[in-house]
Amino acid sequence: MDPTFVTALQNIVSPEVLLVIFLSAVYGLFVGSIPGLTATMAVALLIPLTFYLDNLSAIAAIVTLEACSIFAGDIPTTLVRIPGTPSSAAYTDDAYSLTQRGLHETSLGVSLVFSVAGGLFGALVLILAAPQLAKIAFHFTTYEYFWLYVLGLSCAAIVSTGSRLKGALALMIGLMFSTVGLSEVHSVPRFTFGFDELFTGINFIPAMIGLFGLSEVFRNCLTSKTDEESGKLTSAVISDDDKSWFKHLKPVFGGVLPHLWKRKFSWFRSSCIGSTIGMIPGAGADIAAWISYAVSKKSSKTPEEYGKGSLDAVGDATSANNSALAGAWIPALVLGIPGDSVTAIVIGVLLMKNITPGPEIFNNADQLVLVHGIYLTFIIANLLLIPLGFLAIRSGSQLVRVPRRILMPLILMFCVVGSYSINGSYFDVWVMLGMGIIGFVLEVFAIPLGPVVLGIILGGQLEQTFVQNLTKDDSLLSFFNRPISAGLGIFCIALWLVPVFMPLLRKKWQSAN
């Protein structure tokens, strides 16, 4: 066996490192399950501590924190319809619908097991394919990025529940919000109405909390929902007098493993999508979840269930977002280019610890130990997620027993503090409030909220690459000049045209018969 691997293993099983991993797992679950606090923020808050840790512990802490907080984002998504992290936004409606049917523990069980399975798959990809696969992503220029963003956004519109037109409308509204602020490419303030705060644009975290969280509070309050509903929810929860552990395990894990076996191919597909998207710099776990969701819906036998509580949707998207995490480390380690915002911080930490990420990291014996340590931590963190995630689900499940008249003011407090905490700015609370009202109005017209959020997140980058491409070459044909961009572009256009021409073709085919 590789001696550096053995050294890494010896280092990582030391009590100190294991303690660090355990503590960061708990911290990660905690932060991830609070809406408004993202994995990126959790890692950023950890930075001062990493100075006091040795290299391996510091990196292990970040890896564990990331894996656990991305899973934990599913807990409030499922229980109260507020995505804990942006990566959970794709399947919010599905997970919450399952909760309304009293199936929240099954849904969270699927989230947990598929997250772990996806995370382990991502780790395997990181271990096996890091240098080779990074080379492909390295050839991406603004043209390829442009099409990648278009693809991600189109997927959001296509997968949205109800009418596709409304999905597209929601997307356009989100993109419109993204144009607020000082444009990076033009350096001109747009739609700021004299507010200095709007120069930064609309921060998508408070926007997301408002759209999903506050609008839900409004909806609940306006209809004065009584506690009958929460009573209905708890009926599925195991009764209190049964204290055996197995009875607690059953609603969470019962049927999940057979389900995983049944869906092994779709799990494999989603995980592949996840690690590939993760590897592409700039596209992180959230985009991976959206694309995987779209592919899953396309290839499903029951696409009509998507958005209305499909376990398949939750499983596929959540394995993709977890496998994307390890994928993002590939360009970070091999090229020193971050795959997502967390690895952007990681590069900073590595540099401060005198490690320069780059191809030579794989040649230097000391640093190779660290790389192997990262591999091992991904595996350990995901395995640790099974017991800790289960405990988090159990304690989170108590939430649905709380009457709504108590829960709603408490959620409101979390919405306010959560949106404030991301930047320490009151303006973000105003944004949250405004988005809450907008979200409520959109829901009245049955316009889906997911594409709005994705539009706000990706709009800026889409416009930037669009303008950058046009600055390089005025001709629209230049968007298809490079082989990968041409392929992606044609694929995107086909994706839009198929739903338009499909009914015509079908009609023709029927009349021919």
| Residue 493 within binding range of another protein, rule CB under 8 A | no
Taking the complex as a whole, the smallest distance from the CB of residue 255 to another protein amounts, in Å, to 27
Q: What angle do CA 300, 305, 308 make, to 5 degrees?
A: 140
Taking the complex as a whole, the smallest distance from the CB of residue 422 to another protein amounts, in Å, to 9
Residue 136: both structure tokens together: 């492909």
With CB under 8 A as the contact rule, the residue among 128, 406, 490, 505 that binds another protein is 406
With CB under 8 A as the contact rule, the residue among 472, 506, 507, 508 that binds another protein is 472
- CA-CA distance, 353 to 279, in Å (whole number)? 24
- CA-CA distance, 201 to 174, in Å (whole number)? 12
Span of 123-131, 177-185, 387-395, 486-494 interacting with another protein by CB under 8 A: 177-185
Query: Which of the 8 DSSP states describes residue 180?
Result: -
Map the footprint of another protein across residues 274-303, applying CB under 8 A. 281-282
Map the footprint of another protein across residues 135-154, applying CB under 8 A. 138-143
| Residue 200 within binding range of another protein, rule CB under 8 A | yes
What torsion, rounded to 10 degrees, do the Cα atoms 115, 65, 281, 277 define?
0
With CB under 8 A as the contact rule, the residue among 429, 452, 456, 492 that binds another protein is 429
| Residue 196 within binding range of another protein, rule CB under 8 A | yes
| Residue 362 within binding range of another protein, rule CB under 8 A | no
Distance of CA 360 to the CA centre of its chain: 31
Q: Which distant-in-sequence residues (6+ apart) come within 8 Å of 318 by Cβ?
A: 71, 74, 88, 91, 110, 111, 114, 115, 118, 289
Taking the complex as a whole, the smallest distance from the CB of residue 192 to another protein amounts, in Å, to 9
Map the footprint of another protein across residues 386-405, applying CB under 8 A. 405
**CB-nearer residue toward another protein: 187 or 244:** 187
| Residue 124 within binding range of another protein, rule CB under 8 A | no
Provide the CB-side half-sphere exposure for 209 (13 A, CA): 29
Taking the complex as a whole, the smallest distance from the CB of residue 162 to another protein amounts, in Å, to 8
With CB under 8 A as the contact rule, the residue among 18, 129, 189, 379 that binds another protein is 189
Residues in the chain: 513
Span of 64-72, 264-272, 419-427, 488-496 interacting with another protein by CB under 8 A: 419-427
Per-residue contact string for residues 56-85; x = within reach of another protein by CB under 8 A: ------------------------------
* Contact in structure between 305 and 315 (CB atoms under 8 Å): no
Taking the complex as a whole, the smallest distance from the CB of residue 310 to another protein amounts, in Å, to 17
Give SS3 for 376: helix
What is the radius of gyration, based on Cα positions, of the chain?
23
What is the dihedral sign for C-alpha 150, 151, 152, 157? positive
Question: Which one, of 69, 54, 51, 43, lies nearest residue 12 by Cα?
Answer: 54
Span of 161-169, 255-263, 265-273, 309-317 interacting with another protein by CB under 8 A: 161-169
Give SS3 for 373: helix
Map the footprint of another protein across residues 237-266, applying CB under 8 A. none
Taking the complex as a whole, the smallest distance from the CB of residue 443 to another protein amounts, in Å, to 5
Residue 298: both structure tokens together: 């396309």
Question: Which one, of 282, 343, 328, lies nearest residue 141 by Cα?
Answer: 282
Taking the complex as a whole, the smallest distance from the CB of residue 203 to another protein amounts, in Å, to 9
With CB under 8 A as the contact rule, the residue among 230, 300, 364, 468 that binds another protein is 468
Span of 180-188, 266-274, 309-317, 373-381 interacting with another protein by CB under 8 A: 180-188
With CB under 8 A as the contact rule, the residue among 23, 238, 417, 493 that binds another protein is 417
- CA-CA distance, 106 to 250, in Å (whole number)? 9
| Residue 351 within binding range of another protein, rule CB under 8 A | yes
| Residue 305 within binding range of another protein, rule CB under 8 A | no
| Residue located via tokens 């144009």 | 179
- Total of residues contacting another protein (CB under 8 A): 100
CB neighbour burial string for 435-458, b if at least 16 within 10 angstroms, e if fewer: bbebbbebbeeebbbbbbbbbbbb
| Residue 501 within binding range of another protein, rule CB under 8 A | no
